[in-house]
Amino acid sequence: MGPSSILQPGATAPEFALKATPDQRLALSDFRGKPVVLAFYPADWSPVCSDQMAVYSEIIDEFRAHGAQLLGISCDGVWCHLAFARDRKLSFPLLSDFEPKGDVARKYGCYDDAEGVSGRALFVVDGEGRIAWSDLAPMGVNPGADGILAALGDLGRSSSRPRPQQGDRS
């Protein structure tokens, strides 16, 4: 799994519906019309993942200012996610890519077969369901939020530009 293996900007983001709680699923298509940030990560409770998710929770208002929905995704089970989110006071859904294990991570090109976990990959999906930005960080590195926020800013600028009308020569 190298940086070139993850889905690149311009690709259509694969649809999914994963459990956010034992009896609730969230689908990518539930958020059509607004940007979605997908934060794939290896494991609840690991030090780097805990730090990464805490950063996102602290700046969740910056994501919301861009109209974006943040979703954390790992192969951990839903009960593990609920305990982790409660302990870390996370203010966004964690989705369980548990059964079949890593299925969604594989579709996004970020499943690590050697480790049996999702890689630390980030995707910004635009309101039409296309990947606008993606990044794969080394397992031991917290990628932070700068790249995500820059991509959301670019999306905001491009969506506020007037679109050429049909028949325009501009």
Among 49, 75, 80, 110, which one carries the catalytic annotation?
Answer: 49
Give the C-alpha separation, 100 to 150, whole Å: 33
**Sign of the CA dihedral with 11 first, then 14, 15, and 17 last:** negative
Extended beta strands in 24-155, E state: 24-27, 36-40, 69-74, 94-96, 111-112, 117-118, 120-125, 131-137
State the amino acid at position 163 in one-letter form.
R
49 flagged as catalytic: yes
State the amino acid at position 65 in one-letter form.
A
H/E stretch holding 19 reads strand 17-21
Give the C-alpha separation, 4 to 105, whole Å: 14
Phi, psi of 165 (to 5 degrees): -75, 155
Catalytic residue set: 49
